[in-house]
Amino acid sequence: MTNAFNTNLSQEVFSSAQRLMPGGVSSPVRAFKSVDGDPIVFDRVKGPYAWDLDGNRFIDYVGSWGPAICGHAHPEVIAALQEALEKGTSFGAPCELENKLAEMVIEAVPSVEMVRFVNSGTEACMAVLRLMRAFTGRDKLIKFEGCYHGHADMFLVKAGSGVATLGLPDSPGVPRSTTSNTLTAPYNDLEAVKALFAENPDAIAGVILEPIVGNAGFIPPEPGFLEGLRELTKENGSLLVFDEVMTGFRISYGGAQERFGVTPDLTTMGKVIGGGLPVGAYGGRREIMSMVAPAGPMYQAGTLSGNPLAMTAGIKTLGLLRQEGSYERLESLSQRLINGICESAKQAGLPITGSCIGGMFGFYLCEGPVRNFQEAKQTDSERFGKLHRAMLEKGIYLAPSAFEAGFTSLAHSDDDIETTLKAFQASFYEIV
Ligand SMILES: Cc1ncc(COP(=O)(O)O)c(C=O)c1O
């Protein structure tokens, strides 16, 4: 594929896009800036594959940044959507599909007794912060360095992902007053959290975190970290919020909270629960969720929230995931992939550290261990850029940033993994 790799049409379209949209994209990390290249413009996706405008086929480990856990354009999801489409694209009124998806989420996710649907992960996190504050009557929150909770002002502090990739410490346009209540601590550092609670008695509404960090690469919580946060928040009358926009229904059917056996007060979700359509959700204990309008006084609303097409895709996707063996399959694919990647890098004499859980994996081009964002930054980003390009030329589509987790799907076959590992093996030798 290397010699035949031609991206002329992608380049042409991206060049026009740059005149039309800031940076030529609708979301920053898509622009390939941190891997020093131009993006591939997609034409279509199916199963584990994406095709670009030039006809190149890629084995895709981005999966639309998470939603495509059953593979792209799963025939059952598409069929359900076609049927739903006939009934209309938006109701702006209650629909039974909302009940169905809500029941599925409540049944699956340990912390969730009631749920509110919104349209994106950003919206879910924004609303959950308002709810934390409304319920506790406190203003401050603790977040962790390298955790991303969408692009709302109060979370744009040490926010990993695209922000890290572009080297923006905080975004201009975010007033100091908006982030003055946002306290940060290094991930996996309970002592730092304890100190923040001690310095801010009775002022902290809650602690929000990615229970596995996927926006600073891939950082699992160390044993005791999530449990410690549970205890600390309880002791201090604060709420614990798991942002499971990425990990929800990807780590296990009940998310990271089920996998680690730690139950937060509130949870945000997105990505997988929309099956590829725009959805977010937040939910938690009935007592807290009852604060949300119109049941309670905390205002939050949305024209397209609970959209029938999005609900349909979510219901179908969760139904597919609920089938016996889904998560064992995802984990075994991720495990084979990450073991093979680490082995090949070492054979080529490159430092690497990597791990995976469920349908999520990640590696850093450094010795490790990587327990927080500071340590993640030791990865060789320049070398990752070269690796990314070498893999692209061999038909493998990885996230275009050293600080993003990778995703496997139920559509990836053993042969896809084999092909991917061969491409890694060759690419590591090319970038030594
Ligand atoms: C953990 C986490 N929270 C929130 C968000 C924001 O979600 P969205 O991009 O749907 O607004 C993301 C997006 O990647 C995420 O990974």
Structure tokens at 32: 């390939």
Is 426 part of a structural domain of the chain?
yes
Which region holds residue 320: left if phi is over 0, alpha if psi is between -120 and 50, else beta? alpha
Pairing verdict, β 204-209 and 396-397:
unpaired
Is 395 part of a structural domain of the chain?
yes
Set 49, 61, 148, 253: catalytic member: 148
Span of 13-17, 31-35, 267-271, 307-311 with lowest mean pLDDT = 31-35
* Alpha carbons 244 and 261: distance in angstroms, whole number: 14
289 and 393 both lie in a single domain? no
Q: Please tell me the predicted confidence (pLDDT) of residue 213.
A: 98
**Which CATH number fits the domain that encloses residue 148?**
3.40.640.10
For residue 51, the CA-to-ligand 1 centroid distance in Å is 25
Which residue ranges have their beta carbon within 6 Å of ligand 1?
65, 120-122, 125, 148-150, 210, 214-215, 243, 245-246, 270, 280
Active site residue 148: yes
For residue 384, the CA-to-ligand 1 centroid distance in Å is 23
Peptide bond preceding 28 in cis form (omega within 30 of 0): no
Pairing verdict, β 239-243 and 182-185:
unpaired
56 and 79 both lie in a single domain? no
Peptide bond preceding 369 in cis form (omega within 30 of 0): yes
**Which CATH number fits the domain that encloses residue 36?**
3.90.1150.10
**Would you say 116 and 281 are in contact if contact means Cβ atoms under 8 Å apart?**
yes
254 and 307 both lie in a single domain? yes
Number of folded domains that form the chain = 2
Can you tell me which atom of ligand 1 is nearest the CA of 280?
A: 10
Is 88 part of a structural domain of the chain?
yes
Residue 220 predicted with pLDDT over 80: yes
Nearest alpha-carbon partner for 203 in 138, 136, 130: 138
**Residue 167 identity:** G
Task: Give the mean model confidence (pLDDT) for residues 333-362.
Answer: 98
357 CB-near residues (< 8 Å, 6+ apart): 212, 220, 251, 259, 331, 334
Instruction: Decide: helix, strand or coil at residue 181.
Output: coil
Note down the domain range covering 86.
Answer: 75-321
Task: Give the DSSP H/E element, type plus range, for residue 304.
Answer: none
| Contacts of range 287-293, beta carbons closer than 8 Å, 24 or more positions apart | 288/131, 288/135, 288/239, 289/113, 289/114, 289/115, 289/116, 289/131, 290/114, 291/131, 291/134, 291/135, 292/116, 292/127, 292/131
Structure tokens at 390: 């070498």
Question: pTM for this structure?
Answer: 0.96
User: Could you tell me the pLDDT band of residue 1, with boundaries at 50, 70 and 90?
Assistant: very low
232 and 292 both lie in a single domain? yes
Last residue of a domain, one of 297, 321, 345: 321
Q: For residue 36, what is the DSSP state?
A: T
318 φ/ψ angles, rounded to the nearest 5 degrees: -65, -35
Is 67 part of a structural domain of the chain?
no
300 and 423 both lie in a single domain? no
Can you tell me which atom of ligand 1 is nearest the CA of 243?
A: 1
Residue 18, strand partner residues = none
36 and 129 both lie in a single domain? no
Q: Please tell me the predicted confidence (pLDDT) of residue 3.
A: 53
Minimal-distance CA residue to ligand 1 atom 16: 246
Is 68 part of a structural domain of the chain?
no
Mean pLDDT of the chain: 95
Is 1 part of a structural domain of the chain?
no
* Alpha carbons 18 and 21: distance in angstroms, whole number: 6
For residue 161, the CA-to-ligand 1 centroid distance in Å is 10
Span of 147-151, 179-183, 395-399, 417-421 with lowest mean pLDDT = 179-183
Nearest alpha-carbon partner for 123 in 338, 271, 296: 271
Q: Please tell me the predicted confidence (pLDDT) of residue 108.
A: 98
